[in-house]
A and B are shown apart, each in its own frame.
Chain A
Amino acid sequence: MSNATCNPDKRVFRVVVLGVSTGGVQALKRLLGALPADFPLPILIVQHISPEAGNGLARLLDELCAIRVKEADEEETMEPGCVYLAPPNYHLLLEKDAVLSLSSEPPVNFARPSADVLFESAAAAFGRGVIGIVLTGAGYDGGRGLQRIQEEGGLTVIQDPVEAEAPSMPEHALSLVAADHVISLELLPALLQLLAGRHSEQGEPS
């Protein structure tokens, strides 16, 4: 996999958004565990989770991973090298000024947080600067949002459903989006590093 094929037009990415459900804890451990502490982009994650779960998952992942992991707070400005998990029972959205916002609007796709909500807000706010990723999960969340990311010129990545613990989320996304990359979890950290590396090489955000 060469840089040229990953990021042919040398665009500058600003943020990674990721949606995952069933099988997510294992998948996130593997993905985030393989990223360095100085990964050059912020990563926003919707993991479907019980409304009453605390912030235990963020704490667990933070302990296991070199990269910093935390639960998103209202009005927080996203920073490179930090992973923000949507809090249980809230939607997570991204504003144009790189500030995170929360919402307790009704569930979307039976989910709150919902990946579609995060993805659509990221597409509207950062357009071509967005990398959208759909990983393992039951249900259909994330597909429509990934489509919006693609329409706005962002880059789309879907976990190969063949290896996904629950294939329906990646399959649904694939049915809506001609993804830029359909990839195994194992290769995903390297791909993200390549895509994000362009950012630091070019040196300046858009």
Chain B
Amino acid sequence: MNNDGIFDIESRLLLEALQQVYGYDFRDYAESSLRRRLLNWLSGSGFANLSEAQGRLLRDRNLLDQFVCGITVNVSEMFRDPLFFRAVREQVVPHLKTYSFVKIWHAGCASGEEVYSMAILLREEGLQGRYRIYATDVNEEVLSKAREGIYPLKEMQRFIRNYQKSGGQHDFADYYTARYDHAMLMPELKKEIVFAAHNLAVDADFGEMNMVVCRNVMIYFKAALKERVLELFDRALLPGGFLCLGQKESLEKRGVAGNYDELARGTRIYVKRYLQS
């Protein structure tokens, strides 16, 4: 058997063991991109192969956290896909305004860029004090980054461009304080955000949401796990609530598709029907 074949066996064994020891379940992640991240992690880990790493990973929680951080995708941008945020601003917010209080679940929030983007948008649209965002991720390490809300200053140029393309009218610089080479987001933005660890592969849903945002998270899952996660979201969402997916994620072939209408074609913003099929 060649090295590739052995690597595949080692990774299956490791994922199985991690599931049994920690409850982290990566067995239903799409293989080719997971394989790529496993190889990247391994090359920087000092271990010769996954079998060698396994013994330590099963006993050393710190190493495990670092591993989980390495093999999950944790990067985003503020106002990533500006047209999505524009559609939220123009087509979703008018509905949200009709509620006295709005609850939003942002699943797979990674280091928080898109969560803060949403908070900025909602404040600008006058919803300050009338919403809460539950921002969850499987990964404790990135959650603590998200809680900090501190990003490299060099990213700001791109974030500002995205913000403007998304229909932002204010001076984006008002939302952060530059310090050395970092930008610290305005602490007030955090008041309405609750960050919490949550594993889409095994944990239960959050209830009574007006909106669920989960963009470019499920693209890393195999079909069965996608179905599980969409059922979670479906249970969490109130009728009339909004399900926001990534640009290349569609409900088309999914079990819950019959419960939703796309807000406008190609937006990947789905509205939950009042009458379920």
Give A residues with C-beta under 8 Å from B: 52, 73-75, 87, 89-91, 93-96, 101-106, 117, 120-121, 124-125, 127, 152
Nearest-neighbour CB distance to chain A for B11, whole angstroms, equals 12
Per-position binary interface string of chain B over residues 13-49, scored 1 when its CB falls under 8 Å from any chain A CB and 0 otherwise:
0000000000000000011110111000000000000
**Complex: how many Å from CA A103 to CA B74?**
12
Question: A75 near B223 (CB under 8 angstroms)?
Answer: yes
Q: Which 7 A-B pairs have the closest CB atoms?
A: A121-B32, A93-B32, A103-B33, A104-B216, A101-B30, A102-B219, A95-B32
20 A–B pairs (Cβ distance < 8 Å), ordered by A: A52-B165, A74-B248, A74-B250, A75-B253, A87-B247, A90-B219, A93-B33, A95-B31, A101-B33, A101-B219, A102-B219, A103-B220, A104-B73, A104-B216, A104-B219, A117-B36, A121-B35, A124-B35, A125-B32, A127-B4
Residues of A within 8 A of B275 (CB): none
Which of under 10, 10 to 19, 20 to 34, or 35 or more describes the interface residues of B?
20 to 34
The verdict on B249 contacting chain A, using a C-beta distance below 8 Å, is yes
Q: Which of A93, A105, A117 has the most CB of B within 10 A?
A: A105
**Please, which residues of chain B bring their CB within 8 A of the CB of A125?**
32
Give per-residue flags for B82-96: 1 if the beta carbon is below 8 A from chain A beta carbons, else 0: 100000000000000
A91 touches B35 (CB 8 A): no
Chain A residues near B250 (CB, 8 Å)? 73-74
B32→A105 contact, CB < 8 A = no
- Indicate the member of A89, A101, A106 with the most B CB atoms within 10 Å: A101
Give the distance to chain A from B31, nearest Cβ to Cβ, in Å: 6
Determine if B75 and A106 form an interchain contact, defined as CB atoms under 8 angstroms apart. Answer: yes
- Whether A105 and B219, one on each chain, are in contact in the complex, defined by CB atoms closer than 8 angstroms, is no
> Is B73 touching A101 in the complex (CB atoms < 8 A)?
no
Q: Is the interface of B mostly helix, strand, loop or mixed?
A: helix
- Residues of B near any A CB (own CB < 8 A): 4, 30-33, 35-37, 73, 75, 82, 165, 216, 219-220, 223, 246-250, 253
With A105-B75, A152-B4 already in contact, the answer to whether A91 and B248 are too (CB < 8 A) is no
When distances are taken between beta carbons in the complex, the residues of chain B under 8 Å from A87 are 247-248
B32 and A74: CB pair below 8 A?
Answer: no
- A104–B246 contact, CB under 8 A? yes
CB-CB under 8 A from B4, the residues of chain A are 124, 127, 152
* 7 other A-B residue contacts (CB within 8 Å) besides A74-B249, A93-B30, A93-B33: A74-B219, A75-B253, A93-B36, A103-B73, A103-B219, A105-B36, A117-B36
Q: Is A105 in contact with B33, judged by CB distance below 8 angstroms?
A: yes
CB distance from B249 to the nearest CB of A (A): 6
| Complex interface: chain B residues within 8 A of A94 (CB) | 32
B73: which A residues are within 8 A, CB to CB? 103-105
Neighbouring B residues of A104 by C-beta, 8 Å? 73, 75, 216, 219, 246
Residues of B within 8 A of A152 (CB): 4
State whether A73 touches B220 (Cβ < 8 A).
no
Contacts of B248 in A (CB 8 A): 73-74, 87, 90, 102
CB distance from B4 to the nearest CB of A (A): 6
State in angstroms the CA–CA spacing of A106 and B70 once bound together.
13
Rounded to whole angstroms, the CA-CA distance of A120 and B32 in the bound complex is: 9
**Which A residues touch B30, using CB under 8 A?**
93, 95, 101
Q: How far is the CA of A52 from the CA of B73 in the complex (A)?
A: 21
**A73, A89, A121: the one within 8 Å of B36 (CB):** A121
**In the complex, what residues of A have CB within 8 A of residue B247's CB?**
87, 89
Return B45 CB to nearest CB of chain A, in Å.
18
A124 to B33, CA, bound (A): 11
Contacts A73-B248, A74-B248, A87-B248 given; indicate if A101 touches B32 (C-beta within 8 A). Answer: yes
Residue of A nearest to B249 (CB): A74
